[in-house]
Structure 1
Amino acid sequence: MPKSPSNNAFDGKTLAVIAHKGYKIENKLGAGAFGTVYKAVNRQGQYSAVKVIDLNKMDSSTREKYLPREISTLIDCRHENLIRVYDIFRCNFKLHIFMELASNGDLAGYATKHNGFKEPLACKWFFQASSGLAYLHNSMKTSHRDIKLDNILLDANMVALTDFGFAKQCYDADRHRVILSGTFW
């Protein structure tokens, strides 16, 4: 039986909104600088991850510059090797992003657990991650800018890129040209 999230993780109003949208929070999967990721299940029994971002923990620059980029990229992603978003809502100064659950963790965890990667598997996953990245670059004209093993999720022997917090659109539609980043931010 999955553990329920701690009582103070979600208030009654937020749990009511989550239930109204057809989800139930099951347990905590991990945490980062600005938020926490939980496992959720919908009425049809399908699992998803919900990233809860505490907007109070972000400075205004991050909220105004990087968060809109991440949300925009998540919404526009339509590729099997890019994590899909199902729903986004804000409640009590927290942003809740329901997205595809990669039930086998990330490649950093896999590498640690298995003492690296066997070459055929590394080739397969590299191809899949590259395929998602090519879609991001060529179709969405967006640069990820934070590719690392922690941001490549694994599910059923397939990988998907995630964490688009530093993503940036690199195309000026008015001038029909690529925009090069002057910084990594």
Structure 2
Amino acid sequence: MHPAVASYQRDHPRRTLLRFGPYVLLQTLGEGEFGKVKLGVHTDYGEEVAVKLIKRGNLDTELRMSKVTREINVLKDVKHPNIVRLFDVIETDKYIGIILEFANGGELFDHILAHRYLKEDAASKLFAQLISGVHYLHSKNIVHRDLKLENLLLDKGRNVIITDFGFANTFETPQDDLMTTSCGSPCYAAPELVITDGTYVGTAVDIWSCGVILYAMLSGYLPFDDDPANPDGDNINLLYKYILNTTLQFPSHISDSAQDLLLRMLVPEPTERATLREVMAHPWLAAHS
């Protein structure tokens, strides 16, 4: 018997093991918009996977169904060491199951919390992997649009794995890289998502989110979340007013080089924000270029 199955049965002796296709379903790893993500073990090969179980009953609108279809289509089209791998899609009367690589190192969010913040050599390696994955996506005309710590996992070798492509979208050419749907998590979303006429450059939005992630890696907290009038960032309009009117502050332990990179990425005006190529060429990432 697989060790994960034996451990689960020891912890839950009264529960019947659930099966989904060729997989035994064990503990819940997380909850998404449309259902749960469970650890699965292949009954023949013992391979551990993450099974994203989506209840068909939750896909009650065209918009919701299109998000699931888009995520599957994007994942079928990508192959990169820092992007979660899609193994299979299993459909039943009640569920759509997306069978994904299991990144057993947990969320990057929890890894940072456990250390309070990351030292720059560790952060530089992880950030280079994130940028490598995002650059690959953009080279395939895909923008993620919901990059945040909770959507970055670690594998057993402590490498970054980008997940959750429900908001991802494609564009035909760099000239067509204009998106219209506002999405993503407010604290990671670029100002132009709220304060423009409804169109924005998707690749630039991903770069802003990567800047927020890097700031959180190095400081242990998010930038721009210290507005006394809006402490939780719940009021999106207040949040973006604050971003536009506040100079970015840094903890004293962050190096000048890292601050310079962040000041190039977290630029409210998207046309003045660093491009991905400029980020990749920055001296702070030289060790992992």
TM-score norm. by structure 1 comes to 0.83
Could you tell me which amino acid in structure 1 is paired with residue 21 of structure 2? I
Q: 1:113 and 1:58, CA in 2 relative to 1: closer, same or farther beyond 3 A?
A: farther
Cα deviation for residue 177 of structure 1 reads: 4.5
* 1:182 aligned to which of 158, 180, 183: 180
Could you tell me which amino acid in structure 1 is paired with residue 63 of structure 2? T
Q: 1:107 and 1:162, CA in 2 relative to 1: closer, same or farther beyond 3 A?
A: same
Determine whether 1:104 maps to 2:102.
no
Q: 1:9 and 1:33, CA in 2 relative to 1: closer, same or farther beyond 3 A?
A: farther
- Other-structure match for 1:86: 87
- Other-structure match for 2:47: 46
Aligned-residue Cα RMSD (Å) equals 2.3
Cα deviation for residue 8 of structure 1 reads: 8.8
Cα deviation for residue 75 of structure 1 reads: 1.0
Could you tell me which amino acid in structure 1 is paired with residue 54 of structure 2? I
Could you tell me which amino acid in structure 1 is paired with residue 177 of structure 2? I
Q: Take 1:133 and 1:154, find their aligned partners in 2: how far apart are those partners?
A: 16
Structure with larger Rg: 2
Instruction: Return 83-92 or 27-36, whichever deviates more.
Output: 27-36
Q: Which has the higher helix share?
A: 2
Unaligned stretches of 5+ in structure 1? Answer: none
- Other-structure match for 2:154: 154
Unaligned stretches of 5+ in structure 2? Answer: 1-5, 184-289
Matched positions, count: 173
- Other-structure match for 2:26: 26
C-alpha contact 1:89 1:95 (8 A) present in aligned 2: yes
Cα deviation for residue 62 of structure 1 reads: 2.9
TM-score norm. by structure 2 comes to 0.55
Q: Take 1:36 and 1:29, find their aligned partners in 2: how far apart are those partners?
A: 8
Cα deviation for residue 26 of structure 1 reads: 2.5
Cα deviation for residue 41 of structure 1 reads: 1.6
Instruction: Return 159-168 or 87-96, whichever deviates more.
Output: 87-96
Q: 1:165 and 1:159, CA in 2 relative to 1: closer, same or farther beyond 3 A?
A: same
Cα deviation for residue 74 of structure 1 reads: 1.1
Q: What percentage of aligned pairs have identical amino acids?
A: 34
